[in-house]
A and B are shown apart, each in its own frame.
Chain A
């Protein structure tokens, strides 16, 4: 465990045991158990109000848990004040001290711990974020992106065993955000610290983190490597918060060792037993829109292929690299299809009759009891709402 008087040699494990945080009237974090191995880049992903920032503040010591323990490097820090924890935070608001120069801001933590050569180390950290030339300025004289990098330098310079990032890239424009994401990842690998990153941006979480935990309503819904979460979501929330999914309520009608056969309005849909959280009764299955292929004639039936149709294209929008179709399947609601534009132009237009097919092994079965079927999307763009509305008519 890192001695607060010195730099951490490497990152430390973070362990949350039965953490609960209640406020009068609501529970922000509900019985959270979590282990983040040392040296990993861990992302807590979720919509606003899901409890992710509260979790981060609990780890930093800025909030006290109602119940549970927090261990950093095996040591219980639950009752330690924030300044006694081997943790630094990059705040969403940056929280740079306005009355100090950039250099003084960065050296602040080093001076408190009486670490030798704070000025030299501050300059070194500023060079890491390419801002050494503004060391003598005040925060107000810097742009948002520069302030963000100073906030990062001010935290990283302390070499904490655990670095907490609270949506630090939220205020940056897209280009700068991409650049900062790469820099952050690079710094984390170079320095070998444990990063706990809180964000509502699924793309950011997936590109940066080794492990992503999707949080909803104070609980972790699912946790795993980004690919795993994307390819095999276990709940409807995860299936739709991370990308988009087409979900169908089906009845299990038969099974083999490997495969479950289900019935969706008369069509036979199969999925690997290993990819389904439930194995009998009415279950919810799903498939990602880019896994579907669309054809204007009925595909030949194959054991490895699930086929639905015919349906009618209600919307086709050309995006450049791909075309996004919304297909109305009788009895199953609208289904989203992302088709890469391998040939010039879309293969079907609004009103055309089409069939949808996908490989059996791309199907996933959810653990939820019952959810709405059709293309559930976290996408609240006008177009998506309009599509749904037009279907409802």
Chain B
């Protein structure tokens, strides 16, 4: 529900525009400065880098300013399998994660609504993995899972689901916790079977939680470079776009390629998310 909270806050009526405007601006200043410094500037830098050409000297990691749009074409040609794989993994992990998370969120938010103790314990269990570093948790799975499983598509998808389930459960829990159970009773009073009540009342009313939960996990999953890396649960056959960007930046030092891939990733995510939000009818989330 984090997103809805945001959108509600921005709809504050603008009374006494002049004075309030200044105060609002003053309060916003730190945030704006932060965004300018740590988001807008690096983004522009990234866009410029993505268009650079190799330096005449030909040294490794030597590039000069240019407007070489062909970098993008090369990136797509060379790395489309990894790009595609990233989104296939992320979609599968999101769908499976949703199937696992929704019942859990329902249990927490509806079934255990009046059992504060049990609900609290289970919520802590959902959040507990955050107390340990992502790297450690993923490494732990590497030693738990059978060796022959490591490096397969399944292992990477498993790792993604595991790491992002809390991001899915929490928003859905918030939505379901707020669900007015009297509406469920009204549904059954109006001849709807339990399945129909779920389809027509419970699910639509928890949709904001489903949309924010899936977005909060799909976006970072698509760009993840830890789980799929060879040092963790992946292999060269499971490399995702994040791993390619990482190796281009840090190993081959092909900065324009890494930058172009980053921007491609961002644009594709934006398109997918915008389509998804529109289709799900949850526009107020954005």
- The answer on a CB contact under 8 Å between B192 and A87 is no
List residues of B (176-203) whose CB comes within 8 Å of A's CBs: 180, 182-183, 185-194, 196, 200-201
Among the stretches A91-99, A251-259, A288-296, the one at the interface with B is A91-99
Q: Mark A104-146, 1 if CB is under 8 A from B, else 0.
A: 0000110011000000000000000000000000000000000
CB-defined contacts of A112 to chain B, threshold 8 Å: 190-192, 196
- The answer on a CB contact under 8 Å between B186 and A95 is yes
Taking the nearest CB of chain A, how far is it from the CB of B103, in angstroms? 21
Most buried by B among A81, A87, A95: A95
A82–B180 alpha-carbon span in the complex (Å): 18
Taking the nearest CB of chain A, how far is it from the CB of B198, in angstroms? 12
CB-defined contacts of B193 to chain A, threshold 8 Å: 81, 83
Q: Mark A51-94, 1 if CB is under 8 A from B, else 0.
A: 00000000011100000000000000000011100011101010
Is A224's beta carbon under 8 Å from chain B? no
Taking the nearest CB of chain B, how far is it from the CB of A7, in angstroms? 12
Is B204's beta carbon under 8 Å from chain A? yes
Taking the nearest CB of chain A, how far is it from the CB of B199, in angstroms? 11
- The answer on a CB contact under 8 Å between B183 and A97 is yes
Is A194's beta carbon under 8 Å from chain B? no
Is B205's beta carbon under 8 Å from chain A? yes
Is A158's beta carbon under 8 Å from chain B? yes
- The answer on a CB contact under 8 Å between B204 and A82 is no
- With A97-B201, A99-B204, A99-B205 known as contacts, the answer to whether A91 contacts B182 (CB < 8 A) is yes
CB-defined contacts of B180 to chain A, threshold 8 Å: 93, 95
CB-defined contacts of A98 to chain B, threshold 8 Å: 183, 205
Taking the nearest CB of chain A, how far is it from the CB of B193, in angstroms? 6
- The answer on a CB contact under 8 Å between A91 and B188 is no
A128–B82 alpha-carbon span in the complex (Å): 63
Residue of A nearest to B180 (CB): A95
Is A4's beta carbon under 8 Å from chain B? yes
A98–B205 alpha-carbon span in the complex (Å): 8
- The answer on a CB contact under 8 Å between A95 and B183 is yes
Taking the nearest CB of chain A, how far is it from the CB of B188, in angstroms? 4
- The answer on a CB contact under 8 Å between B192 and A83 is yes
Is A197's beta carbon under 8 Å from chain B? no
A60–B196 alpha-carbon span in the complex (Å): 18
- The answer on a CB contact under 8 Å between A93 and B182 is yes
Residue of B nearest to A95 (CB): B186
CB-defined contacts of B189 to chain A, threshold 8 Å: 60-62, 82-83, 87-89, 91
Most buried by B among A81, A88, A108: A108
- The answer on a CB contact under 8 Å between B190 and A154 is yes
Residue of B nearest to A154 (CB): B190
CB-defined contacts of A81 to chain B, threshold 8 Å: 188, 193-194
10 closest pairs, A vs B, by CB? A95-B186, A109-B190, A112-B191, A82-B188, A95-B182, A83-B188, A89-B189, A83-B191, A112-B192, A99-B204
A→B interface (CB under 8 Å): 4, 60-62, 81-83, 87-89, 91, 93, 95-99, 108-109, 112-113, 154, 158
B→A interface (CB under 8 Å): 180, 182-183, 185-194, 196, 200-201, 204-205
